[in-house]
A and B are shown apart, each in its own frame.
Chain A
Amino acid sequence: MTTTTRDAALEAVGLGKRYRRGWALRDCTFELPTGRVSALVGPNGAGKSTLMALSTGLLRPTSGVIRVLGKEPGGGGTHQELAFLAQDKPLYRRFTVDEVLRAGQALNPGWDHAYAHRLVREAGVNLDARVGTLSGGQRTRVALAVALGRRPQLLMLDEPLADLDPLAREEVMQTVMAEVAETGMTVLLSSHVLADMEGVCDHLILLAAGRVHLVGDVEDLIADHRLMIGPRRPAGHGLRPESVVEARATGRQETVLVRDGGWHGATGWELHEPTLEELAMAYLRSASPQRPARTRQETVA
């Protein structure tokens, strides 16, 4: 594992948030280094939106600390270098697109008006159209233009692609990745569609049932895991239990995800590097309520 000394764009220590109905996020400790494009992955209700709300200062932690670019969020608005795009892209419905951009300018000291305008023009959205009349894709593009117009160092997108058609998904991701290439901005992108993340993200934070199950650079995570495929044996897979993330039997075959070199010395298996999706799915399945949650953290020290 490589050692990096870069500052964290986002850092959580023992972070927890309890609502009336229970803990939405508990004991989360992780670090998102700057410059990464990180996938925040987890099933519905895993705490992804809560984590983002805590980062923006919309919510206060019940326990622990969260730091955005070294600063704890307070009541004075969201960190100037953090831009957040909420799940349902809330915008004032009666504003025209032009007025939305003007609002962005009025609400943000470091606003880049020309850039925000260019993004909206590139998306082919009419500046005089009212927000309420835009399609889901256009609305996302406008909201994204407002987020990027702040010229953030850290961009958080909560399910940005959820209601978009495949073409719009691609365009939105291209806009984000162009900005990443240009400025080296850090991105935290939540989704439950892993396919959207593959090839885009170089970092992963996996949440399930309010806890962090896996964190780290994708490259390192893949190097640390192997997918083992072999014939199903009556006596089980015969591997060290602590190194097995998940074992699944399909027909006469058994597929096991193993970590930390647990595959060394095992014979009769076919070894594969897992894809990001295979890795994440195995962890999500192993974290599902039927099985005891396993806390596993791969922090980039």
Chain B
Amino acid sequence: MTWVAWRQQRPQVLASLAVIAAVAGVVVFFRFDAMSYMRDNGITGCLRVDEGRCESAAMNAFSDEYTSYVSVIPLVLLCLPVLLGMFAGAPLFAREFEHGTHIFTLTQSVGRTRWWATKSTIAGVPVVVGTLVLGLVATWGLRPLSYVAHGRMVTPGFETQGLVLAAYTLVAFAVGATAGLLARNTVVAMASTIGLYLVLLVGVSALARPHYLDPVENRGTVAEGAAIGSQSGRSLVPDDAWRVDSSYFDPSGQKVSFDPSSCRSADNSIENCLTRQNIASLSARFHPDNQFWGFQLIESVVFLVIAAALLGTGVWALLRRLL
């Protein structure tokens, strides 16, 4: 069965691996390109702006140089799992039903569970392992560009590095394969893959992800806090962190609300506007960069569970009814 499944899936598997390798090649190229730029401009190893060598002007020039690459590559990486799911997963069973070839295989001495398991393994494992490698390559390749990408805790950096790329691919593949088993139509299976993948990705990132680990809280005076986002390197929230929320306090320590829309141009700065609204100190909660691997691990487990449920549904459907 293994040989038959491989012979059937060979074009898709090789094409998928070629695409993954091409994207990985681009990521590797830009890592070396960025490294040499940083060396030429004396900012080697700078991940954020600081008062020393990594001064603001040089870092901003670096950012301008690579901003188009850093905005395009995550989109490519984000589309990859769903594309692999559509082309490796959706036709896997749907095309067999469309051509009636499942009748050929299942009327040999091969049980349907083995048929399902072998085909799924041959088609699924290469793309999942491929995207796992790609995710790790992307983590490594985008590291020097961390400042340009605003870190790897926020979208789309988080989704396109580390382990989750492989977990998303597995889910997209499972959606495609199972939809193909249920709908028995490649186009329907492909459409389901896009639809369900987007729902799962957005749903998990909005509902579950903020709660994986407790955020870190930083408190500071208005003068310190106003530096948030000014990229001066002194802010309450590191610029590669994922900011959760902010709270504002009056001089007596009471929590108050802040209305940014009432800031006037006469205030000149956010600092003046805060002071005028009687705000003395503020705090911010955020997920720092060192939570990256923890978040990656938890999100991967979440998607592994989803994938297992989807694949289980496929097996159930396969055993319940056929032909």
Partner of B104, one of A77, A80, A91, A150: A91
The B-contacting residues of A in range 25-67, CB under 8 angstroms, are 53, 56-59
Q: Which residue of B lies closest to A95 (CB)?
A: B7
The B-contacting residues of A in range 61-86, CB under 8 angstroms, are 75-78, 80, 83-84, 86
B211 beta carbon closer than 8 Å to chain A: no
Contact A58–B109 (Cβ < 8 Å): no
Contact B7–A107 (Cβ < 8 Å): no
Knowing A58-B322, A108-B109, say if A88 contacts B4 (CB, 8 Å): no
Partner of A78, one of B4, B109, B113: B109
B323 beta carbon closer than 8 Å to chain A: yes
Contact B109–A106 (Cβ < 8 Å): no
Partner of B319, one of A53, A75, A80, A102: A75
**Total number of B residues with any Cβ neighbor in A under 8 Å:** 25
List A contacts of B106 (CB < 8 A): 56-58, 77-78
B208 beta carbon closer than 8 Å to chain A: no
Residues 101-113 of chain B, each 1 if its beta carbon lies under 8 Å from chain A, else 0: 1111111111111
Q: Which residue of B lies closest to A158 (CB)?
A: B103
The B-contacting residues of A in range 161-191, CB under 8 angstroms, are none
List A contacts of B253 (CB < 8 A): none
Cα A146 to Cα B105 in complex, Å, equals: 11
Q: Which residue of A lies closest to B318 (CB)?
A: A75
Contact A84–B1 (Cβ < 8 Å): no
The interface centre, meaning the residue of A58, A77, A84, A88 with most chain B CB atoms within 10 A of its CB, is A77
Contact A107–B108 (Cβ < 8 Å): yes
Cα A76 to Cα B3 in complex, Å, equals: 19
Contact B109–A80 (Cβ < 8 Å): yes
Knowing A80-B109, A99-B7, say if A53 contacts B100 (CB, 8 Å): no
- Within the complex, the shortest CB–CB distance from A81 to chain B, in Å, comes to 10
Report, as a range, how many residues of chain A touch the other chain.
20 to 34
A-B contact count, CB below 8 Å? 75
Q: Which residue of A lies closest to B10 (CB)?
A: A94
Residues 91-107 of chain B, each 1 if its beta carbon lies under 8 Å from chain A, else 0: 00000000111111111
Contact A103–B111 (Cβ < 8 Å): no
Q: Which residue of A lies closest to B101 (CB)?
A: A90
Contact B99–A77 (Cβ < 8 Å): no
B155 beta carbon closer than 8 Å to chain A: no
Knowing A95-B7, A99-B7, say if A84 contacts B111 (CB, 8 Å): no
Cα A80 to Cα B108 in complex, Å, equals: 8
Cα A271 to Cα B100 in complex, Å, equals: 48
Q: Which residue of B lies closest to A82 (CB)?
A: B107
B67 beta carbon closer than 8 Å to chain A: no
List A contacts of B323 (CB < 8 A): 53, 58-59
List A contacts of B101 (CB < 8 A): 90-92
- Within the complex, the shortest CB–CB distance from A73 to chain B, in Å, comes to 10
Knowing A59-B322, A59-B323, say if A77 contacts B100 (CB, 8 Å): no
List B contacts of A102 (CB < 8 A): 3
Contact B99–A84 (Cβ < 8 Å): no
Contact B104–A78 (Cβ < 8 Å): no
Partner of A107, one of B110, B112, B113, B319: B110
Contact B109–A93 (Cβ < 8 Å): no
A238 beta carbon closer than 8 Å to chain B: no
The interface centre, meaning the residue of B2, B103, B108 with most chain A CB atoms within 10 A of its CB, is B108
List B contacts of A124 (CB < 8 A): none
- Within the complex, the shortest CB–CB distance from A140 to chain B, in Å, comes to 13
B8 beta carbon closer than 8 Å to chain A: yes
Cα A97 to Cα B2 in complex, Å, equals: 18
- Within the complex, the shortest CB–CB distance from A80 to chain B, in Å, comes to 5
Contact A107–B105 (Cβ < 8 Å): yes
B residues at A contact (CB < 8 Å)? 1-4, 7-8, 99-114, 319, 322-323
**Which 4 residue pairs across A and B have the least CB separation, nearest first?**
A107-B108, A90-B100, A76-B111, A84-B107
Name 7 A/B residue pairs within 8 A (Cβ), A-sorted: A75-B111, A75-B319, A86-B103, A88-B100, A91-B104, A102-B3, A109-B109
A residues at B contact (CB < 8 Å)? 53, 56-59, 75-78, 80, 83-84, 86, 88, 90-95, 99, 102-104, 106-110, 143, 146, 150
Given A78-B108, A84-B107, A109-B109, list of 10 further CB < 8 A pairs?
Answer: A56-B106, A75-B111, A76-B111, A78-B106, A86-B100, A91-B101, A92-B101, A106-B1, A107-B4, A108-B108
